[in-house]
Amino acid sequence: MRLVGRVTLFTFSALSHLLRPPFYFREFAHALLFIGYFSLPVVGLTALFTGAALALQIYSGGARFNAETVVPSIVAIGMVRELGPVIGGLMVAGRVAASIAAEIGTMKVTEQIDALVTLSTNPMKYLTVPRILAATIAMPILAGIGDILGIMGGYLVGITRLGFNSAAYLENTRDFLEAADVISGLWKAAAFGFIVALMGCYHGMNSGRGAQGVGRATTNAVVSASILILAANYVLTEVFFSA
């Protein structure tokens, strides 16, 4: 319970600093480049192969009920609602949360955070706020690109391995995919980006001393971000689709 309380207080503190100046645009731009642009390869490749594997699995299962034609629609809906945001979030958690925790934890161990305070710079505003804002903005963009590549992976498998007609596959995808499916996935991705950066910053700020403390903070950041992403995914799915 103490941990929950500390994380809650840290979250409210970060949110309150989002609304108050000063704002460090250079740190924000650097974080946006690192979290967004440099995460594109891993998120894109993961989504591409996930969509391809999903098409094979759905076709194999649908063949038992003579329902092979549902492959395009289910691949598209599954990618934009669930797999795109979740897989993208988990991959970014493994890459970004670990990096943020290690960076901030090392700064704490080497007393660079104390130096920021000495220079009248608030560590929360300088280190945490730009990373949280950048991750919250970058993750929906990454998820959108991942959705496109995932659907493309299913499309490539469908027309090369499963015998689908190219035009029919694309038409089926377009007919069954709704704007609400895409929007819900992008909202999920934004929440996951917030969680990833928040956990990285929290565990970095609360890192123990020495290399062992930084290593433990890095591990805890990835584990806690991954668990919270899966938990938040269920809650958001209930909110968007319970009706």
Tell me the mean pLDDT in the region 131-156.
93
Number of domains in the chain: 1
Question: Does residue 10 sit within a domain?
Answer: no
Question: Does residue 122 sit within a domain?
Answer: yes
23-36 pLDDT per residue, tens:
888 989 999 999 98
Average pLDDT, the chain: 88
pLDDT the model gives residue 147: 92
Question: Does residue 8 sit within a domain?
Answer: no
Question: Does residue 215 sit within a domain?
Answer: yes
Examine the pLDDT at 65 and tell me if it is beyond 80: no
Whole-number Å distance between alpha carbons of 97 and 110: 20
Examine the pLDDT at 73 and tell me if it is beyond 90: no
Question: Does residue 4 sit within a domain?
Answer: no
Question: Does residue 9 sit within a domain?
Answer: no
Q: Are 57 and 157 in contact (CB under 8 A)?
A: no
pLDDT tier at 243, thresholds 50, 70, 90: low
Question: Does residue 191 sit within a domain?
Answer: yes
Question: Does residue 3 sit within a domain?
Answer: no
Examine the pLDDT at 22 and tell me if it is beyond 90: no
Residue with tokens 């945001």: 85
pLDDT tier at 178, thresholds 50, 70, 90: confident
Examine the pLDDT at 122 and tell me if it is beyond 90: no
pLDDT the model gives residue 46: 93
pTM attached to this predicted model = 0.90
Determine the structural domain holding residue 140 and report its residue range. 26-234
